[in-house]
Amino acid sequence: MRFLRLIGAALYWLAWPAYKVYFRFGDRTRIVIVQNGEILAMQQWIGTGRWSLPGGGLHRGEQPVQGALRELREETGVQVTPQQLDYLGIHDYRQCGQHFRFHVYVCELSSRPALRRQWYEVSRLAWLPPAAFTLQSAGSDAVQSVQLVAAHTRLLQ
């Protein structure tokens, strides 16, 4: 599995110019799933190997909340309702020459759901403490999202 992640990191940097164009169009989403003070995190096959949060790009005409729910279900197998999400706003991601806007949602779960990772996109799912989301270990959009949750709710205190 380590070898596949290494290949994924190499593919990410080779495809970086295409990512730069792809991310410029349309908003994206991030969902901070909290259960017992820990956050559901994921690593993707193609990427830097840093932790990220469920979420992704919106389909044409798709509302952000629906896109967030779809991405959460596709990437992790977790299904929640729109009423379980709290919207924390829209924020900007600027790093490594990339720029996109992302809608941040938070959802507190009373128990740990069964996880089913999307095999072709997600290499790992894990429950992590908020302190694990640093710029050395996670993408800046994930770090910013976790900081927003900590500032606006009592879920991570």
Say if residues 131 and 95 touch (Cβ distance below 8 Å).
no
Higher-scoring residue by pLDDT: 100, 74 = 74
* Measured distance CA(151)–CA(19) in Å, rounded: 30
Percent of the chain with pLDDT over 90: 61
Q: Which two tokens stand for residue 39?
A: 């956050």
* Measured distance CA(107)–CA(136) in Å, rounded: 25
Q: pLDDT at residue 3 above 80?
A: no
pLDDT of residue 21: 47
pLDDT band at residue 153 under the 50/70/90 scheme: confident
Say if residues 51 and 30 touch (Cβ distance below 8 Å).
no
pLDDT digit string (tens) for 10-26? 656 555 555 544 455 57
Sheet strand arrangement including 28-35? 86-95, 98-108, 28-35, 38-44, 122-128
Q: pLDDT at residue 141 above 60?
A: yes
**Cβ neighbours, 10 Å, residue 3:** 7
pLDDT of residue 75: 97
pLDDT of residue 96: 62
- Token pair 């009592």 in the structure block, residue: 154
In the chain, the domains with their CATH numbers are 2-152 (3.90.79.10)
pLDDT digit string (tens) for 50-59? 999 999 999 9
